[in-house]
Amino acid sequence: MATHLDSGIVTKTMEKAKKFSGRLSFLDFARGIIMIIMAWDHVSGFWNQYHHGGEGILGRAPPFINTTWFLLRFVSHYCAPTFIFLAGTVLAISATRRLERGDRERDVTLHLITRGLVLLILEAALVSPAFSLPWTYFGVIACIGVSFIIFSVARKLPPKVILLVSLLIVLNEPFLNLDFIPLNVNWGRYLRVIINEPNFERFPYFGLYPIIPWIGVMGMGWSLGSYLESKSRKDIAALRNRVLATGIASIVMFFVVRYINGYGNLLPRTGNTLIEWLYVSKYPPSLAFLLWSLGGMCIFMTIGLVLEERGLSENRIVAAVLTIGRNPLFFYVTHLWLYRIRWTGPPYQLELSTTLVFWAVGIVVLWFMCREYEKLKRKHPKPILQYI
């Protein structure tokens, strides 16, 4: 009996030793890339009169002045889905590793709830003012915060169940009817905004990132994290072709969905121009939007795996991207206030070329700030910095 028990213990120890316990650089690379792209979207939104968004709010499709400005906005569509998906991935890995090193279930639950509350406070205190919006604005950081709180409980479900429920949420979001929630009272309108009807119709109850379907996107990311957490470095490297194939298949399905022009398109095509094919709903995200953006995310992750395989993680540019990717929340909050600096009078407009230079210089400054912040966090790992 003792021999059998000892053998079992040795087997579990060997399995645990095979697992890759460090950071997954290809995730940091993908996240770093989209943070840099996201910075472009925001700096251009702050300074260029022709850069705008609002795709899909209440079924609307604001027109773009030309194809160039449309594409300069369209390229940023990778950002929010990747940001939220990978937040779920990293959360799953973090929660599992905390349990493996001896943290109690209760402690992990409280940690996730605390992280969620910190995000809600950051949204109200720093993010909303950066966009000149009221503290009640329900943006991407608030959405992630609420999702973290939900996952403090939902994480106890089997990963396959989380994946199934997440897919059902994403695929069935267009059929969600909130008419049972009254619109003639503020709490009802705000609740609908938070759940699935983003808009700016009634001050100050604004929101762009409703919990449904974004928690479905985070759930898919959680499922990936649960899968990766048990793999060795060799197993993860071997996923490269599968990740790439998934990305390509997702993009192909995007064009299929746009061609069918029915289900999956909250903003159907009205023609066959490039803009008509690519103009998809982000608020809330349609299936077409998610197919394109998450497909691109898979390609970014594949590039990260290739760079790691070829030993290029120490390359200066790659290392800078990884540094940004390891500090996404700090980068997010900091870049908003860096890029909204005003040194001219109204209407606060710059030429496109000047904005591009401003963006590029800002990325260098933000990389330096992320590097120094990372050093500070390593020196003081336990205080509030662990939540940012």
Tokens of 187: 């709490």
Q: Which residues pair with 165 in a beta bridge?
A: none
Position 378 scores a pLDDT of: 86
The per-residue pLDDT for range 335-386, each reduced to its tens digit, is 999 998 865 555 568 899 999 999 999 999 999 999 999 999 888 777 666 6
Q: Which residues pair with 282 in a beta bridge?
A: 285
Helix (H, G, I), strand (E, B) or coil at 227: helix
CA distance 91 to 40: 26
Write out residues in the chain with pLDDT < 50, as ranges. 1-17
CB of 321 within 8 A of CB of 43?
Answer: no
Q: How far is CA 101 from CA 24, 106, 378, 384, in A?
A: 18, 14, 19, 21
CA distance 151 to 66: 42
Q: What share of the chain is helix, strand, coil (3-state, %, to 5)?
A: 70, 0, 30
User: Is the preceding omega at residue 134 within 30 degrees of 0, hence cis?
Assistant: no
CA distance 305 to 57: 36
CB of 250 within 8 A of CB of 81?
Answer: no
CA distance 386 to 115: 9
Tokens of 4: 């059998």
- What values do phi and psi take at 264, rounded to 5? 90, -5
- Tell me the chain's radius of gyration from C-alpha atoms: 21
Tokens of 140: 């991407």
Amino acid code (one letter) for 305:
L
Q: Which residues pair with 138 in a beta bridge?
A: 207
Q: Which residues pair with 264 in a beta bridge?
A: 262
Position 108 scores a pLDDT of: 95
Q: Is the backbone of residue 137 left (phi > 0), alpha (psi -120 to 50) or beta?
A: beta
Position 380 scores a pLDDT of: 79
Position 23 scores a pLDDT of: 84
